[in-house]
Chains A and B, each alone.
Chain A
Amino acid sequence: MGAFFFTAPLALAGLLALPLIYFLLRVTPPRPRQVVFPPMRLLLELSRQEATPARTPWPLLALRLAIAAAAVFAMAGPVWRPSALERSSNAPLAIAIDDGWPAAPSWERRAQAAQTMIDSAARAGAPVALLAMSDGALDVSAEDGATAQQRLRSLRPKPFIPDRRAAAARLAKFAQAHPAARIVWIADGLEAGEAAVLGAAMKDAAHNGAEVEVVTDAHVPLALASPANTASGSEVEVLRAAVHEPARGRVLALDAKGRTIAQAPFDFGAELTTQARFDLPVELRNDIVMLQIMGEFSAGAVALFDGRSRVRRIGVVSGAGADQEQPLLSPAYYLDKALAPFAQVRQARAGVADPTAALLEEHPDVLALADVGLPPGETHDALARFVEEGGALLRFSGPHLANAADDLIPVRLRRSDRVLGGAMSWQTPKKLAPFEPHSPFFGLAVPDDVSVARQVLAEPELGIEAKTWARLADGTPLVTAERRGKGLVALFHVSADTAWSNLPISGLFVDMLRKISALGGEAGARRASGAATQDQASAPQTLAPLRTLDGFGVFGAPPPTAKPIAADFSGRANVDHPPGFYGAADAPVAVQTLAAGDVLQAMDYSTLGLRRQNLGVDASVDLRPALLAIVFVALLIDWLVLLLLTGKLRQPARAVGALCVLALVGAMAPRVAHAEPPKSVASPRDRDAALATRLAYVVSGDAHVDEASRLGLATLSRVLAQRTSFAPGEPASVDPARDELAFYPMLYWPIAATAPQPSALAVAKIGTYMKQGGVVVFDTRDALTARRGGPPTPETLWLRDLTRRLDIPELEIVPRDHVITKTFYLLDGFYGRTTNGETWVEALPPEPEGDAPRPVRAADSVSSIVIASNDLAAAWAVDASGEPLYPLIPGGARQRELALRGGVNLVMYTLTGNYKADQVHARDLLERLGQ
């Protein structure tokens, strides 16, 4: 394999067809243009002497053969890959290849480079030694190319950075054995793993006469470190070894099944470290198992979340009560502040009768009770069950607890008359003793300034030593805890506020709470998975590897070399402890590839003074597009030549112009055919109607009546705007068959007997309108002509015909106590031009028996139909100068005013419904409240 090769060399067999093409082309000249020509006889007489060209002209022949050959070559996929790594010398070759995780993203190229070098050495017959950094302990021996290739193929990047010291020693030995060897170090670019030692070994070898090179890759490894799940969000540090583009990227958060939960962007800017942050709900963040830099496939670009980093949900209940005047002195306040950095704190809503029970409903991991006494009862039992099932109960003492101790505490409390209020006051505040190894707080520094002035005392009894997690300098237990069932009960013998000690305002308090909540969280997680049978006390102190990452950052079964970790393992992964999850499947412990505080330090190869090469991104050049372009251009040329030869191309310029125009049209065509923006469905009229609430009347078809309706509603609108807070827009005329009715709260429908009945569609629309809450005010305007008991008037008949097609409930004449008579004015009836007509509305439900008579009755909803007969609009209508248009019967300004008041009530009834029915009871309600 050289710098130039074919990806599909079999296609070159197509070249065999070239002679055939040559023959065929030679005997089939381009077809001339054919012309029918009647005076052939004359032409034939002339043409005795000239012979026609029967052969294809040779330049055309050559061009066509070149096209065919180029096409065949293009099919074979020619690739030009210049490589500086090849060397045809028979000096022994040693390849030191970094196989830590930083090499993983560019592993393909590294392996390819090594392959190229091994191939060229094998061709030259030189022995090859392949030295992987992780196999530093193995001896380096020169072997033949095939063996080296096999070893190369079996190499995979490791999920940690191997120590190069052993490899450096081996390499030095090899260099001594083969002083003229060619030594190539395919380096990962990081200093971690003692790269300087290997560099020194290489330099020594160069001094001894070896030909030494360092091959690096342009890819700068990225890594994630110190993932943290805090109460407010998940954060992870993103590291890189050098300033390099692209400076931005994304971090993926994946759950246990590898599904992406979220993405978070990061931007290095000019820095080497930055942060990615996930702002997600706690429930989602607790599902995150691993974070991964998108597109960076290495173990270093993966950060793991285990059970310890779950965000706990901690419920806090304060015995001091919710209505405390001074919230800053409340124990809950201190607990909230101390827990907030790492947990989600829940407090019961103010006013809940039993905050403890309410918080238990929310399934917290830990429940912190600050000075809450637990009398036997449902709450006590629920708490006991909560602890049994794995919850952590964290209690703080205080006056309540000291007075009424219950059994949900780890130790018995001493009751002593000597101690005021059940708690003991120290003469001088006591300091804390260092934590003992069996305590979960072991390892936390004890600050000097924490002192305890007052506390409850534990009854000395058997086993109290084991239950004590923290004690004072004189040995008095300060924090005691006990496992119960799957859960945990812990007691701080001081209060959660600063009354008894200053512990709650120290940093130690936060750390202690964090430890306790972690324990509680594990128990909670186990409780959630329901698979926990193990007791923590009997849990092994070492954790076996469960699932580990490989060098590419993919989970798999742990390698046989992986060893268990100690329970308190912290630090970066190494050869014995590959990164991944350890321990039980339900509560795994994560080992990160990078420890907290790690930085990626780029290796500076320039100080070594070695020859340096770059792997490059991909130097290979695919020649296929270029060849195909040549074929295309040559075909065009061939076509033009043919046109010229057959005389069809008389004006080359014109043809070229036409080609250009064609190309332009082809390029523009897709742009021309763009979709027209969809038209708005709403008409301008509907838009106006929707923008302002307005009264509407139905066009009767009688111009006289319509004019009266329009002017009447205009007057009513003006009166409404003057007297009420409702300022309607200009009244609208609607045709139920054509217009959308949904915009109008009320339709005024004066009935003209001469008008045609509305169509079925219009009736259906009116029915829908009424069902959806609209009010239709029919006005038969026949109070003058109608006679009680007499034959129905034409208007009434018309309305009957219409209502027969509508779904109309039972109607009644407006009763005196109907809410419609009281929505704005207190009215006796609805007057228009006449006063004797009746007004009908939907019948109210019958008054309940036995109740005191109410001043007002209302149904649950607005009556969808009102039938008036007094010609309301005509009474309202005034002309432009404010003069009434129609005379009233019997007449008078009072009647006109009452008519308008009726209109106002109608509109108010439409808009406010039965609200006034409640308001008129206000006095009764107030009286009742007073009792």
Chain B
Amino acid sequence: MITTHALSSAKRLAARARRVDAADLANRLPRLVAGARQLAASVMHGVHGRRRAGAGETFWQFRPFGAGEAAQRIDWRRSAQGDHLYVREREWEAAHSYFLWMDCSPSMAFVSSLALDAKIDRALTLGLALAEVLVRGGERVGCLGLTNAMSARDIIERLACALLDAGEATTRQELPPPAALPQRAKAVLIGDFLCDPQSLAERLRRLAANGATGCLLTIADPVEETFPFEGETEFLDTDSSAAFHAGRAQSWREPYAQRLARHRCEVEEAAKASGFASSLHRTDRPAAEAAMALYMRLAAGVEPR
């Protein structure tokens, strides 16, 4: 028997529910922060440095001097050892700005008996861990619409505080805030994206207006993917008081699957249109898997074009 569980009562009055939710998040944040640290450590274990020539302090390699290059780049100490001229290259050390957005809308506060974690927990863990890894890698990370990009050792705490302090109106949105990003900034959007694909596309366009790129990570509960319900069932919404009564729930499995596939397709289209990468993560999979994939994807995505 599959049970689903909204982290606060499903049938609720809007005002009361928000209060409950805020307290709920405050209660769970310390645990999530710890989880994020752990996750970040495991990700950093597998990734090391940029291994790429660039504007940095540390030595990277010597290469033969090419014709047409500025003469002051020649490393005379090395060149004096032989007949050829060499150029000392330093490691690429440019700091990028990353902006995270984690969906905290009511639809994220959901967990089924098949999942390991609530969607919102998973999103926050992933986001904070990613922030930690990026900061350790020399990048600056901020919360989209909440903070500036910063490079602090306690980035996790800072972001968590920012999330808590943020007005509910901001965090409850199921779409990323319509802020314009700096030119070379990157946006990481984590959420379930069960919103209208059109408005999502419009928001992404706004984000990418200055040339920023990023990626979308869709968090999905396995129940949302497989629709394992049977028999007479009443479905309740998390955001609104909408309800849907299915006489035989199993008969809805096929249409739902098709509709979900179409929705996912539309979300991907919207992402692609703005130059965002998109991926899917199910909460019955371990978080480290998603974190590693996300990080590698980001690392790949910052290759100068």
Contacts and interface: CB of A to CB of B under 8 A. Distances in A.
A47 interface: yes
A40 B249 contact: no
Contact of B249 (A38, A39, A46, A647): A647
A666 B249 CA distance: 36
Contacts, number: 105
Interface in B200-253: 221, 223-224, 229-240, 242, 244-247, 249, 252
Given A32-B245, A40-B244, A41-B194, A645 B232 contact: yes
B259 A40 contact: no
Interface in A605-652: 644-648, 650
Contact of B242 (A32, A44, A50, A644): A44
A32 B4 CA distance: 15
Contact of A35 (B229, B255, B259): B229
A37 interface: yes
Contacts of A43: 235, 244, 252, 256
Contacts of B249: 647
A648 B5 contact: no
B263 interface: yes
A52 B192 contact: no
B107 interface: yes
A36 interface: yes
A36 B110 contact: yes
Contacts of B164: none
Contacts of A645: 231-232
Contacts of A650: 1, 230-231
A648 B229 CA distance: 10
Contacts of B108: 38
Interface string A20-51: 00000000001011111111111111110010
A36 B5 CA distance: 6
A32 B256 contact: no
Interface string B79-106: 0000000000000000000000000000
Contacts of B260: 39, 42
Contact of A33 (B5, B234, B240, B259): B234
B113 to A, nearest CB: 11
A40 B231 contact: no
B6 interface: yes
A38 B230 contact: no
A896 to B, nearest CB: 87
A298 B86 CA distance: 136
A729 to B, nearest CB: 71
B259 A37 contact: no
A53 interface: yes
B43 to A, nearest CB: 28
Contacts of A32: 231-234, 245
> Chain A interface: which size bin?
20 to 34
B10 interface: yes
A52 B245 contact: yes
Nearest to B237: A40
Interface string B178-210: 000000000000001010000000000000000
A32 B238 CA distance: 18
Contacts of B221: 38
A52 B221 CA distance: 26
A36 B236 contact: yes
A36 B231 contact: no
Contact of B233 (A33, A42, A50): A33
A33 B249 CA distance: 10
B181 to A, nearest CB: 28
A35 B233 contact: yes
Contacts of B229: 35, 647
Contacts of A53: 247
Interface in A32-89: 32-47, 50, 52-53
Contacts of A38: 107-108, 110, 119, 192, 194, 221, 224, 237-239
B231 A33 contact: yes
A36 B234 contact: no
Given A43-B252, A46-B259, A35 B235 contact: yes
A42 B238 contact: no
B183 to A, nearest CB: 35
Contacts of A41: 194, 237
Given A35-B236, A37-B4, A650-B1, A42 B242 contact: no
Contacts of B224: 37-39
Contacts of B238: 36-38, 40
A5 B221 CA distance: 64
B247 A52 contact: yes
A34 B245 CA distance: 9
A36 to B, nearest CB: 4
Contacts of A44: 242, 244
B4 A36 contact: yes
Contacts of B245: 32, 52
A33 B233 CA distance: 5
Contacts of B194: 38-39, 41-42
B6 A36 contact: yes
A53 B234 CA distance: 12
Contacts of B256: 39, 42-43, 46
A399 B244 CA distance: 126
Contacts of B242: 40, 44
A649 to B, nearest CB: 8
Contacts of B247: 50, 52-53
B247 to A, nearest CB: 6
Nearest to A43: B244
Contacts of A34: 10, 233-234, 236
Contacts of B263: 39, 42
Nearest to B229: A35
Contacts of B119: 38
Given A42-B260, A47-B244, A646-B231, A37 B236 contact: yes
B233 to A, nearest CB: 5
A42 to B, nearest CB: 5
Contacts of B6: 36
Contact of A37 (B1, B231, B235, B240): B235
A647 B232 contact: yes
Contacts of B239: 38, 40
A650 B249 CA distance: 13
Nearest to B223: A37
Interface in A827-857: none
Contacts of A646: 231-233
Given A46-B255, A46-B259, A53-B247, A37 B237 contact: yes
Interface string A559-573: 000000000000000
Contacts of A648: 1, 231
A50 B110 CA distance: 27
- Interface centre among B194, B223, B232, by most chain A C-beta atoms within 10 angstroms, is B232
B277 to A, nearest CB: 23
User: Of residues B119, B221, B231, B255, which shows the largest number of chain A Cβ atoms within 10 Å of its Cβ?
Assistant: B231
B17 to A, nearest CB: 13
A647 B234 CA distance: 11
A40 B235 contact: yes
B139 to A, nearest CB: 32
A796 B252 CA distance: 103
B192 to A, nearest CB: 7
10 contacts: A32-B232, A32-B233, A32-B234, A34-B234, A37-B244, A39-B107, A40-B235, A45-B259, A52-B247, A53-B247
Given A36-B235, A43-B235, 19 more contacts: A30-B232, A32-B234, A34-B233, A35-B234, A36-B4, A36-B238, A37-B224, A37-B237, A37-B244, A38-B108, A38-B221, A39-B260, A40-B237, A40-B238, A44-B242, A44-B244, A645-B232, A647-B233, A647-B249
Interface of B: 1, 4-6, 10, 107-108, 110, 119, 192, 194, 221, 223-224, 229-240, 242, 244-247, 249, 252, 255-256, 259-260, 263
Give the top 4 A-B pairs by smallest Cβ distance, nearest first.
A647-B231, A52-B245, A40-B237, A38-B107
